[in-house]
Structure 1
């Protein structure tokens, strides 16, 4: 069976957990206790996702993914490729828009309280900050929906179609 490399699988699952946790923290932060350090942890996870995305892209450039099953319809292959493209775009754009928004604030930006991260030279009211804020929120909801569809598609392949699509990443 064609499988992704062990590095690709590890990056996929580590990032999947980080991204899902971060979407829950970002979307649900108002409902969580105020004494939890929700937003600093959310920002740290976002920076981690950005760094891991660069590692993942570098790995992907040198290691081709296994082919999709030959009998898979063309529209399904196109949907899979489009979804992966959007996931990579979100893995870059979500942390960057968050970083831009944070840069306009007065609080420091740090990575898990271990060291400070430099901020971009932006200020509240800048059009880039406003666009980043709106985009960050909209992408968060879109990404959550796309992840649910991604999981549903993987389970469809595993349970209903009984092909090796899910096993390639296990």
Structure 2
């Protein structure tokens, strides 16, 4: 028997599972809130007094959760990869990498957008105003705004692909070992 072989685990550690689902709810809520905010008329005062500050605060929270998840993933024992066909394994890996990249980039673009907009009152985090590190510049704001919106919808598309993949493995694959959902429950 080899001493350095660890027994395999079937589930992700509880902390990572909890953070995964909290983050999932936050991201879906942030995308829904972002869509709602941008469709409301500018004369709706709650848009600027309530929705924007909450969206920014929860966006910062989501960013911090992703950083925490990444740090914990690097220190945790994780389940072995599911035995997927090579093309599905490559797609799964690419989707996960792209999702994590966007989970970091989208809030950074939101921060840059709020920080650079000349009419913005800053970036609140549940009552604490974060420092604005970018100069006020409405031309840059429009670039960050475009990126924030476009990348948020790209993230939504990847989330949909992620969910469809998990459901496909759960309900349509003949090999039950590809069912990855129980590992995250």
Query: What TM-score does the superposition give when structure 1 sets the normalisation length?
Result: 0.89
1:10 aligns with 2:18: yes
Q: CA RMSD in A?
A: 1.8
The structure having more radius of gyration, on CA atoms, is 2
1:63 aligns with 2:51: no
The equivalent residue for 2:98 is: 86
Deviation at 1:121, TM superposition (A): 2.5
Query: Which ranges of structure 2 fall in alignment gaps of 5 or more residues?
Result: 1-8
Q: Does structure 2 retain, via aligned residues, the 8 Å contact 1:100–1:122?
A: no
Classify 1:109/1:69 alpha carbon distance in 2 versus 1 (closer, same or farther; 3 Å). Answer: closer
Q: Does structure 1 retain, via aligned residues, the 8 Å contact 2:30–2:55?
A: yes
Q: Tell me how far apart the structure 2 counterparts of residues 108 and 92 of structure 1 sit (CA, whole Å).
A: 19
1:115 aligns with 2:128: yes
1:24 to 11, 26, 32: 32
Describe the SS at the equivalent of 1:116.
strand
Deviation at 1:157, TM superposition (A): 1.1
Aligned residues: 167
Question: 1:110-167, CA deviations, whole angstroms, 9 ceiling, x for partnerless residues?
Answer: 112x21111113222454x443222111111111111111111111111222443111
Query: Which ranges of structure 1 fall in alignment gaps of 5 or more residues?
Result: none
1:164 aligns with 2:179: yes
